[in-house]
Structures are given as C-alpha cells and as structure tokens.
C-alpha cells in the first residue's frame, strides 16, 4: 500500500498522489472515516469504480444460518454479520451528460489525503471528459466526532476550459450490490439484499430512507439534506423510491464558476424503536448538523482532535515512517472507539466487513491498553458493552455446563457466532482477558463508579467461570484442561500457561474487589466461601515448567511435541492454516501468534528476567506470526529482554500491517488491534510502560535508529508527557495533582512544577534469537 510510490511520508497526513485502481479496495479501508457509531469506507464520491462499497453502523447486523456437515451440541446455529447499510456518500456527477468516471476520459490529477490532524478525507481531481471538457472536482468528507449520528461532504465542481452544464445526483442508496468475498476464512459472509424498505421520502433538497433487516429485525434510518451554492440558474429537485433517494442539482457553469454542495447525512438505528421514532431521530440529528453548518462541523472536529492529540500523541525522531504510521494508528483507534458508547469495538472497526464485523478478544487485549491511556472514557464504554451482554454470556456458560459467564469468541450482539469450536468456545481465555482489561482500566483511572457498577460483576462472573472450569487434583493443583490459548496452532490443551496465569489474575482480582465492596458483592450472590474458593484456586493454579529445557512450556504437553518442519516449509505456504490441516499444526511445536510471550507481557510479574530471556529465545524460532496479533507483543518482550533491534523490526511489522497490507486482506478493513500494537510496541515496548497494582512504571530504552521518543498519556486524571532519548528519560506532569511513578524500579515523584530526568541504564542482552526461516521480521533501518 503506502510503499506504493503514489504515497508520501508526512507527519499528519496519509497522502495518495495518484489513483491506482488495483489497490482501490485497500485505500477504501485506509481512507475510511468513522466515529465508533457510523463508519464510511473511503469509496469515491461518485460511487464507481469501487473495491467494496461500505457504510456501517456499529452493531447493526443481520443473522444468517451457520451450517455444519456434522453439528455438535452447543454449536451455534445462527451467526451475525455486519451489513452494508444505506449509502449516503454518493454524489454522482454528469459533465455535459458525460458521467464523471475515472475509468473514462482522462484523469489529469488525482489526490486523496486522510488529514488526521483535522479528521477529514480530502480529494481533488482534475478530469477531462471523453469529449474534452476539463473540470476540477474536490470534496472533503467527515464523520463527526462531536455529533455521532452525523457525516457530511463538501463537494465542489469547477469547469476549467469551457462552459459546461453539470448535474450532481446526490443519493441515499440501500441494498447496493456487493462483490463476492472469496474463500478467505477471515473475510465475512455476503448477505444478498437484506434490507426491506419501510419509508422513503424526498422533498426539495432533502430525503430519507427507513429500512429494516429481515431476520434480526433491526431498523435503520438515513437522511440527507443539502446546502447548495451555485449560479442563479441552479435547479434542485428530489425523488424517492424504496431503495434510492436522489437529489438532482443542475447548474450551467462558466470556467472559474463553481457549484458547491454541502451534503449533511444523519443515521440512526434501533432494535426496538418504531419507524416514526427513528424517522424523528434522524431528521433531528440532521437539523442540528445543518444548524452547525459545514464550517462549524470542521471546527468541532478540529477541537476534538486538539484534545485527543494533546493527551495521546506519540512523537518520534529518527523514523518519519513510523511517526506517520503511529499517528495513523491512533487516529483509526480513535475512529473505532470514541463514540461507540456501550457498543463494541470490532476487529476491523467500522472500516470493512472483514471477520463479519465481529468483536473478539483483540479489543480487550490489544486495543484497550492504548485506549485506556489515551481516551479512557471509550475503554469504559467498551467494557460497559461487555457488561450489557452478560445475560447472553451467562446463558452460554449454562449451555456449556459452567457457572458464571462465558463470553462469546466472536459476536456482534452477544451470542456466540463462531462456527469452529476448538478455536472459539475452547478459547476460554477471552473471559480472563476482559477481566484483565477491567482491572487495568480501574488501576489507570480509579473510576470507582465503574468498578462498582460494572467492573465487579464482570470480575465475579468470569471468576465463577474459571472456578467451575478448572479442578483441583489429588496433589492440590488447580488445573484447567482442554482449552485453547491465544496460539491458534495449538488447541484443546491442558494447562495453557497464558490461560492459567490470566485466570489466576481474574480469580484474585474478583476476590480482592469483592472484599472491597462487600455490599455490591453480596447483591451478586458472593459470599465468603466463594471468595475463599477463588483465592484458593488462584493460589494453587498449576503452571507447568519444563526442567529439561529450562523453559516454560506453552501448555503442559507442548515441549513434548515434535517441532514443525520449518526447513521444508516454503514461503508460499504461509499462512500455514491455508496450506496445512489443523490436526498437524495442533500436534507440533509451531506458534501462530504470541501466547507464552503474551503471558510474559501481561503477567510479567510471574517470570524472572532470566526466564523471560530464556523463554523468548525458545519461542522465537517457533513463532511464525500468521496472525496480525503477534508482532506488537513480540516487540514488547524483545524490548524488555534487551533485543532492541528485533523489537524495532517488530514495531515496523505492527505499524505497517495495514499501510503495507502485509496480510493481504486490508481490503476487508483495517486491523485495529495491530494498529494499536504500533502504539503498544512504542509505549509498552520502548517506553517500558506497565501498570501493576495501581503503580505506573517505566523502563524506557530506544533502538539506535530512534533518537527521541515522546508520548503523552492520561493516568488517574493526570496528563503526563514522557520524553526518551538514548541516554535519559524525562517525565513531565502536564496536568493534575502530584503522582509517584517508577523509573526502572525506583520511585520518582512528579509535580507540575518541573520535569524529572533520569538516566537510562545500560541494556544487556544475549544473542539475538532467530525466527523460522523466512519468517524474521523485515529488518528496519532508519530512513
């Protein structure tokens, strides 16, 4: 993608200087705009050509049957798939009756810019029609961070060489035809024309469509209105049909004369509210947007981003590509989560239909760390969504024969939507991952209201799951058998170390928090005996260790297994899951993604520095990174064990996952977790940031090529700025009351009056570990 020569490296922009149709779908994902509620892919204004049209509303989905050749008890029979809702982006243009289409005539100039400082997508085109009329077309598109139901487009046409008559057809289109998704299991299902019209309306400059889904029974409304500036002869009328509303704007233009249209869009949906209620909701949002006006929306957008970058920016000296990539990453994370408001943060955000629009453990494990330290309110919202699906999770636990709650591996509405249980139902760790995110959020914010209203119940119900999933054996060990850890190239194993350590944390946190809020706990049915049973299970949890090799096995039997034959595996055979059957992957030592290494990050307290180094050296040659969820974690631990060049290489992989389309599926949407991984690799890796027991600690260390790293973060109501160079780190408290943090294990007290600077100790590291042949990250050198 961005390595394409048509992209430039800039601090605050993703700029494409020429249009290349072969990567159109990928750029639609890269240039997508969203606010966590509404998402618009970066489709061209005129609708065609497209890679994949896409307009999404968070949690708006259709149901579809999940088929099985041989179904088993507990296999979900119905799945949920995000659907492309009414498209309001379309502004078709006719120039003297020639449709403006980049595939015809001649494109003299075409530039698109994702402006992440202002939160807009800009496009400028200079086009000569087949009959020789040249026009400048420019558009600016935004999805408002401040008005969550609202998007808007400012669209301008100007003839250059001769008078022309232009017609702009501005549309709302439901049930667009979608291209097939192919056989990649990471894609999503395509549901044909799934919206049924309930109301269509057009009048003057405005129009509205209301539809509902056939099976899931959700209702969606979309409305548009236009502010038009053109010559006095400009003529406007609107028409509606069940699936299309069109506003026609016709104007004769002289060279130098412009037609300018601001299109205001509003969306609303509900599973419960009536057609009239949705109708009123969208036209109300629309009128606020019109009242705010285009300039007003732009100003609000900028102000919102001023605040965000003010406490979340990451600055890098020495690597402008990484600088660009991490800002791109933070912007998309913000877009995915900032206005979700108790809706999930899906794996692809609202940028494409990949993974059916589902939310996985990625959110809590990979995305929320960044969110918690940059715009924490959204972390609370995402966890409140988990709380809102507790009933479905409790029902699932009951079906699975367990107590408490068993959160779905993948879902939109809360019900398990996974069709392959060994890599979903058995991946119980998601429950501990949610609990971990809860405790990290509380430690980072001291949000006691959240803790009592939401946090404790999530901790209690997940602890109950663990207590009833594991069992104590004759030797008193608390064992968790037959589960799948993060590494999806192993499954149904006994005592996965990641799972056991995370379950231990979950059980302890539930016990401690329940003791702190005895009344809330009592209301949840928790008594002293139950708390005891959690503590006992946590204390006695079995963590296997391989004495022979001196390493921690990923699971009890892992190191007994044959090592994958990497020598005869060719580069084209990756990702392995597309070329080898699961039975063979599962029974061998080959790691799809960080598993024990992730345990060493999240539960670093359970390993000595020597163990970390030995384990990292053992797992590196086994880890193929066939998942986008791996590089960032490997970067963090590589940095921790002193392998700074390797950490830097992994940072590159995480940061460029989407911009370089490393997994060849960015067409289906960007990888929010991998983007967050770029932040994690920098802040947790090179910044050495950890939060444990409420204490914020740092162990900064830079690779040679990065000469300065500075980042802001919010913690317990304060805003901090940390600046790191090769030799020293300085800590600035930008706002809030004094705070004690740790630098390399030593407390330092921060006040707003002055920064504290500390030297960075010398880093000692062993030999750099190797990766499977051909699977080393691309060696990164300063540009």
Q: Residues comprising the binding site for substrate?
A: 361-362, 592-593
Phi, psi of 650 (to 5 degrees): -65, -35
Q: How many CB atoms lie within 10 A of CB 472?
A: 15
279: Cβ–Cβ under 8 A, 6 or more apart, which residues? 199, 208, 210, 221
Neighbouring residues of 441: CB distance < 8 A, sequence distance ≥ 6? 368, 372, 376, 379, 380, 383, 447, 450, 455
Identify which of residues 216 and 424 has a Cβ nearer to a copy of itself in the complex: 424
The residue range among 141-149, 276-284, 331-339, 488-496 that interacts with a copy of itself, by the rule CB under 8 A, is 488-496
Is 248 one of the binding residues for a copy of itself (CB under 8 A)? no
Is residue 584 close enough to count as binding a copy of itself by CB under 8 A?
A: yes
The answer to whether the beta carbons of residues 224 and 263 sit under 8 Å apart is yes
User: Considering only CA atoms, which of 21, 8, 31, 18 is closest in space to residue 666?
Assistant: 31
Q: Which stretch, 258-266, 304-312, 422-430, 513-521, contacts a copy of itself (CB under 8 A)?
A: 422-430
Which residue of 139, 169, 372, 418 would you call a contact of a copy of itself, by CB under 8 A?
A: 418
Residue with tokens 């499977």: 772
Q: How far is the CB of 622 from a copy of itself (least distance, A)?
A: 15
Which of 566, 574, 580, 744 is the binder for a copy of itself (CB under 8 A)?
580
Contact 645, 704 (CB under 8 A): yes
Return all residues near 164 (Cβ < 8 A) that are at least 6 apart. 95, 96, 133, 135, 252, 253
Quote the least distance from Cβ 602 to a copy of itself, whole Å.
Answer: 24
Minimum distance between the CB of residue 213 and a copy of itself, rounded to whole angstroms? 20
With binding defined as CB under 8 A, does residue 481 bind a copy of itself?
yes
- Stretch touching a copy of itself by CB under 8 A, among 272-280, 311-319, 489-497, 746-754: 489-497
Using alpha carbons, list the distances in angstroms from residue 346 to 37, 86, 357, 360. 11, 20, 6, 7
Handedness of CA 417, 422, 428, 429 (dihedral sign): negative
The least distance separating a copy of itself from the CB of residue 547, rounded to whole angstroms, comes to 13
Out of 557, 606, 748, 782, the only residue in the binding site for a copy of itself (CB under 8 A) is 557
Kindly identify the residues of this chain, within the stretch 308-337, that bind a copy of itself according to CB under 8 A.
none
What stretch of H or E contains 173? strand 164-173
Q: Is 545 in the site for a copy of itself (CB under 8 A)?
A: no
CA distance 382 to 434: 10
Residues between 49 and 78 that touch a copy of itself (CB under 8 A) = 66-75
Binding region for a copy of itself (CB under 8 A) out of 204-212, 436-444, 581-589, 697-705: 581-589
Candidate segments 90-98, 213-221, 572-580, 712-720, binder of a copy of itself by CB under 8 A: 572-580
The answer to whether residue 288 forms part of the interface with a copy of itself (CB under 8 A) is no
In this complex, which beta carbon is closest to a copy of itself, that of residue 548 or of residue 727? 548
In this structure, what token pair is assigned to residue 389? Answer: 């699906």
Residues that constitute the known binding site:
361-362, 592-593
> Looking at residue 781, what DSSP letter applies?
-
For residues 210 and 201, what is the distance between their CA atoms, to the nearest angstrom?
9
147 lines the binding site for a copy of itself (CB under 8 A): no
Query: 620-649 burial string, b = 16+ CB within 10 Å, else e?
Result: bbbbbbbbbbbbbbbbbbbbbbbbbbbbbb
Report DSSP letters for 371-429, one per residue.
HHHH-HHHHHHHHHHHHHTHHHHHHHHHHTT-SS----SSBSSSS---S-GGGTTT-TH
In angstroms, give the least distance from the CB of 585 to a copy of itself: 9
Catalytic residue among 171, 176, 364, 488: 488
Candidate list 258, 275, 587, 732; residue touching a copy of itself; CB under 8 A: 587
Burial-class residue 274 by CB neighbours within 10 Å (0-12, 13-18, 19+). Answer: exposed
Active site residue 488: yes
- Note whether 422 binds a copy of itself by CB under 8 A: yes
**Per CB under 8 A, 582 contacts a copy of itself:** yes
13 forms part of the interface with a copy of itself (CB under 8 A): no
What phi and psi, each to the nearest 5 degrees, are found at residue 779? -65, 130
Q: Which of 494, 512, 546, 723 binds a copy of itself (CB under 8 A)?
A: 494
The nearest distance, CB 114 to a copy of itself, in angstroms, is 33
What is the three-class DSSP state of 710? strand
Residue 215 lies near a copy of itself (rule: CB under 8 A): no
Binding site for a copy of itself (CB under 8 A): 66-75, 79, 183, 185, 399-401, 418-422, 425-426, 471, 473, 479, 481-483, 491-492, 494, 556-557, 560-562, 577-584, 586-588
Give catalytic residues, as residue numbers. Answer: 488
């Amino acid at each position: 993608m961005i390595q394409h020569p048509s992209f430039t490296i800039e601090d605050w922009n993703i700029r494409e200087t020429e249009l290349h149709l072969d990567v159109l779908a990928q750029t639609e994902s890269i240039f997508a705009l969203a606010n966590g509620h509404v998402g618009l892919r970066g489709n061209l204004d005129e609708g065609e050509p497209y890679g994949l049209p896409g307009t999404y509303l968070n949690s708006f989905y259709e149901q579809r049957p999940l088929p099985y050749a041989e179904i088993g008890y507990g296999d979900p029979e119905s799945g949920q798939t995000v659907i492309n809702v009414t498209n309001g982006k379309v502004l078709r243009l006719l120039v003297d009756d020639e449709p403006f289409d980049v595939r015809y005539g001649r494109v003299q100039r075409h530039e698109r810019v994702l402006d992440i400082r202002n939160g807009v997508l800009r496009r400028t085109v200079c086009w000569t029609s087949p009959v020789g009329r040249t026009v400048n077309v420019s558009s600016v598109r935004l999805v408002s961070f401040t008005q969550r139901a609202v998007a808007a487009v400012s669209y301008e046409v100007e003839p250059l060489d001769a008078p022309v008559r232009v017609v702009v057809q501005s549309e709302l289109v439901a049930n667009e035809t979608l291209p097939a998704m192919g056989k990649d299991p990471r894609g999503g299902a395509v549901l044909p024309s799934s919206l049924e019209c309930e109301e269509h309306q057009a009048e003057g400059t405005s129009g509205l469509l209301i539809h509902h889904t056939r099976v899931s029974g959700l209702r969606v409304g979309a409305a548009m209105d236009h502010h038009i500036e053109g010559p006095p002869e400009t003529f406007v009328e609107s028409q509606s049909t069940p699936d299309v509303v069109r506003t026609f704007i016709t104007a004769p233009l002289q060279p130098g004369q412009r037609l300018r249209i601001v299109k205001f869009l509003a969306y609303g949906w509900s599973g419960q509210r009536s057609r009239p209620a949705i109708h009123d909701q969208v036209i109300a949002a629309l009128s606020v947007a019109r009242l705010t006006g285009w300039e007003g929306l732009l100003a609000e957008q900028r102000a919102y981003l001023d605040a965000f970058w003010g406490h979340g920016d990451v600055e890098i000296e020495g690597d402008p590509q990484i600088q660009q990539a991490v800002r791109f990453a933070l912007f998309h994370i913000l877009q995915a989560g900032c206005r979700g408001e108790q809706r999930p943060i899906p794996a692809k955000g609202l940028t494409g239909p990949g993974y059916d629009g589902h939310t996985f453990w990625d959110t809590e494990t990979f995305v929320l760390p960044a969110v918690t330290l940059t715009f924490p309110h959204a972390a609370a919202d995402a966890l409140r969504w988990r709380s809102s699906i507790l009933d479905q999770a409790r029902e699932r636990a009951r079906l699975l024969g367990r107590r408490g709650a068993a959160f779905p591996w993948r879902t939109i509405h809360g019900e398990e939507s996974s069709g392959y249980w060994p890599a979903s139902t058995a991946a119980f760790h998601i429950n501990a991952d949610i609990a971990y995110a809860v405790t990290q959020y509380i430690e980072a914010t001291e949000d006691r209201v959240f803790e009592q209203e939401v946090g404790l119940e999530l901790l209690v119900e997940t602890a109950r799951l663990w207590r009833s999933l594991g069992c104590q054996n004759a030797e008193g060990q608390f064992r968790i058998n037959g589960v799948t850890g993060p590494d999806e190239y192993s499954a149904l194993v006994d005592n996965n170390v990641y799972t056991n350590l995370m379950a231990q944390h979950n059980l302890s946190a539930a016990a401690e928090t329940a003791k702190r809020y005895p009344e809330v706990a009592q209301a949840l049915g928790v008594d002293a005996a139950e708390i005891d049973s959690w503590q006992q299970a946590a204390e006695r949890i079995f963590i296997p260790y391989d004495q022979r090799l001196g390493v921690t096995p990923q699971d009890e039997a892992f190191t007994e297994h044959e090592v994958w034959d990497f020598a005869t595996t060719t580069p084209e055979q990756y990702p392995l899951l597309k070329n080898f059957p699961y039975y063979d992957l599962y029974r061998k030592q080959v790691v799809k993604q960080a598993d024990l290494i992730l345990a060493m990050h999240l539960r670093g307290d359970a390993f000595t520095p020597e163990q970390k180094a030995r384990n990292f050296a053992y797992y590196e040659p086994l880890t193929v990174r066939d998942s986008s969820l791996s590089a960032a974690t490997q970067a963090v631990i590589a940095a921790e064990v002193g392998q700074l060049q390797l950490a830097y290489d992994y940072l590159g992989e995480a940061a460029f996952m989407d911009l370089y389309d490393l997994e060849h599926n960015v067409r289906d949407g960007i990888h929010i977790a991998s983007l967050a991984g770029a932040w994690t690799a920098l802040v947790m890796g090179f910044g050495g940031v950890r939060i444990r027991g409420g204490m914020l600690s740092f162990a900064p260390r830079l690779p040679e090529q990065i000469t300065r790293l500075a980042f802001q973060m919010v913690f317990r109501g304060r805003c901090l700025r940390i600046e790191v160079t090769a030799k020293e780190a300085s800590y600035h408290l930008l706002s809030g009351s004094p705070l004690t943090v740790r630098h390399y294990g030593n407390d330092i007290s921060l006040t707003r009056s002055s920064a504290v600077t500390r030297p960075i100790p010398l880093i000692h590291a062993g030999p750099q570990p190797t990766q499977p042949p051909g699977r080393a990250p691309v060696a990164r050198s300063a540009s």
